[in-house]
């Protein structure tokens, strides 16, 4: 297979449609199952944990956070900031608390970020909102020990390039080397998702960043995230280990 520049529109659409690569379910069913899993997981988390819901970090309706706190939030504690996916078009912070239980029980706070998805949100707006959410968390919760673990779109090429992570890679300074980057890709993601993950990994490593690439077996684009609700899941364990080293 050549690069994305060599693909037809139909080939590109297939590469960037994760549901078409799932080996578990039909492409329509796997999306419905994913939404159901993350929704039910979030309901369970909110029913059993100390939360601060719909905390505004900006002036727009979509600029709110859901915060899942450890049992004793009086001291300093690590924090995982979760920015939901959904092809910039759907999902929300309201269904993003499912990852909290295995982290909160280990004394780690989880913050689910809300932002305006398309068509209401423009990609530049989304990026600005996420940046504001990070700044808000750092300023508002100074005791939190933050860890660096982290179509209908009307998406012009210049906007995509301006917000592309790989085009924004800069050399790692001594301070930046303290940030450990983990790139995770599902076994049953598309070849294009694998290529981009590998290229981003290589770009960061070449720039001197501490970076690792994890190809997670027996997962697709959906359950690779859903399983974060499980403490024994390999990606959950990697995140916990990264935090313990910080």
pLDDT digits (tens, 9 = 90+) for 127-151: 999 999 999 998 887 555 544 433 7
Other residues' Cβ atoms within 10 Å of the Cβ of residue 112: 28
What stretches of the chain show up as alpha helix (H) in DSSP? 9-15, 27-48, 100-104, 123-140, 157-162, 191-206, 223-226, 234-245
Quote the number of domains for the chain. 1
Q: What angle do CA 125, 17, 205 make, to 5 degrees?
A: 70
Respond yes or no on whether the N-terminal peptide bond of residue 24 is cis (omega within 30° of 0). no
The answer, yes or no, to whether residue 222 has pLDDT greater than 80, is yes
**Given the structure tokens 């078409």, which residue do they identify?**
20
73, 50 Cβ separation under 8 angstroms = yes
CATH code for position 227: 3.40.50.1820
**Given the structure tokens 């329509």, which residue do they identify?**
28
pTM: 0.84
Categorize the per-residue pLDDT at 75 as very low, low, confident or very high, splitting at 50, 70 and 90.
confident
Rounded Cα gap, residues 111 and 49, in angstroms: 13
pLDDT digits (tens, 9 = 90+) for 14-31: 999 999 999 999 999 999
Nearest to 34 by CA among 16, 22, 44: 22
pLDDT recorded at residue 148 = 41
Q: What is the DSSP string of 144-212?
A: EEE-TT--TT---HHHHHHT-TGGG--PPPTTGGGSEEEEEEETTS-HHHHHHHHHHHHHHHHTT-EEE
Q: Which of the 8 DSSP states describes residue 114? A: P
pLDDT recorded at residue 71 = 85
Nearest to 92 by CA among 135, 129, 131: 129
Q: What is the mean pLDDT of the chain?
A: 90
Instruction: State which residues form the domain around 45.
Output: 4-245
Rounded Cα gap, residues 246 and 243, in angstroms: 5
């Amino acid at each position: 297979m050549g690069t994305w520049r060599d693909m037809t529109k139909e080939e590109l659409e297939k590469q960037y449609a994760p549901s078409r690569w799932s080996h578990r379910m039909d492409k329509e069913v796997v999306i419905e199952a994913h939404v159901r899993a993350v929704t039910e997981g979030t309901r369970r988390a909110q029913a059993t944990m100390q939360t601060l819901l719909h905390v505004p970090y900006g002036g727009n309706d979509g600029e709110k956070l859901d915060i899942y706190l450890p049992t004793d939030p009086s001291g300093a504690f690590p924090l995982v900031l979760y920015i939901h996916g959904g092809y910039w078009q759907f999902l929300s912070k309201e269904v993003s608390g499912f990852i909290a239980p295995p982290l909160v029980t280990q004394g780690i706070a989880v913050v689910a970020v809300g932002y305006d998805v398309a068509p209401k949100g423009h990609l530049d707006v989304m990026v600005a909102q996420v940046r504001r959410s990070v700044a808000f968390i750092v300023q508002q919760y100074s005791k939190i020990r933050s860890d660096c673990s982290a179509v209908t779109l009307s998406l012009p090429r210049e906007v995509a390039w301006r917000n592309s992570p790989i085009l924004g890679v800069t050399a790692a300074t001594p301070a930046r080397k303290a940030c450990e980057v983990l790139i995770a890709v599902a076994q049953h993601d598309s070849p294009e998702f694998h290529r981009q993950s590998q290229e981003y990994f290589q770009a960061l490593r070449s720039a001197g960043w501490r970076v690792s690439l994890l190809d997670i077996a027996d997962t697709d684009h959906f359950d690779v995230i859903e399983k974060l609700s499980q403490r024994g899941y390999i990606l959950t364990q990697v995140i916990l280990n990264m935090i313990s080293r910080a």
